[in-house]
Amino acid sequence: MLVALERLEIPPGQKLLLRHVTWDEFETIVEELGEHRGSRLAYAHGVLEIMTPLPGHEWDKEILSDLIKALLEELERDFGCLGSTTFKQPMEHGLEPDQCFYIRHEVAIRGKERIDLTVDPPPDLALEVDLTSRTHTAIYAALRVPELWRFAHGQLHIVVLQGSAYVEVSESPTFPGFPLRTVIPEYLAQSKIVGRNATMRAFRQWVRATRQ
């Protein structure tokens, strides 16, 4: 398996689908590929997707992540940021988000080196930058992630889990009172003109003015 994986070359922005992959094979692939890689994995119903993001994807992901962190810091809320951790529902689903946050349940996972969704809560908020139509909402729903942000085509879509499916909402339940669907894309666009640091300073000022 390792030799075959090492021979795979997936161009940025492209994905590879492997069918009839057993759960044991999926776990072996995750281990062999390791943590320090640029690809993202998603597994469901015996199908494994391996995707390599575009540079533009990574820029958007980092800036959006920084904006969320700044918002949480300005609101003085503790959080844990676990990046593209591999989350699993044993024998059925596996997923690596672009970014994820423990906020409400931060204390429950604080200091843990591994997350086991059979005993630990899922992330409170997950982020997907969808430049390649990758977001697997059905897997997120199976993993019981309560809130998902999907950035696609310049727009931020916020969906929350209701029952077994996601419903789009106008306001994040994690950040009530903040018009983030419109403001976050504006600051992301601004970062590509004035740079990251100037954008973050302006965003923090906006948060302070808005929360008063």
Do 43 and 27 form a contact (C-beta atoms < 8 A)?
Answer: no
193 or 13, which is more confident? 193
Is the confidence at residue 11, as pLDDT, over 80?
A: no
User: Containing domain of residue 74, as a range?
Assistant: 55-211
Domain presence at residue 21: no
- Give the model's confidence band at 36: pLDDT under 50 very low, under 70 low, under 90 confident, else very high: low
Tokens encoding 21? 């992959």
Domain presence at residue 178: yes
Residue 206: CATH number of its domain: 3.90.1570
What is the pLDDT averaged over residues 185-193?
97
Is the confidence at residue 179, as pLDDT, over 50?
A: yes
Domain presence at residue 166: yes
Is the confidence at residue 2, as pLDDT, over 50?
A: no
Is the confidence at residue 3, as pLDDT, over 50?
A: no
Domain presence at residue 8: no
Domain presence at residue 155: yes
Domain presence at residue 30: no
**What would the 3-class secondary structure string for 121-158 be?**
CCCCEEEEECCCCCCCHHHHHHCCCCEEEEEECCEEEE
pLDDT digits (tens, 9 = 90+) for 72-110: 999 999 999 999 899 999 889 999 999 999 999 999 999
Domain count, the chain: 1
pLDDT digits (tens, 9 = 90+) for 140-169: 999 999 999 999 989 999 999 999 999 999
- Of 7-21, 84-98, 170-184, minimum mean pLDDT range: 7-21
Residues in the chain: 212
Average pLDDT, the chain: 91
- C-beta atoms surrounding 147 within 10 Å: 23
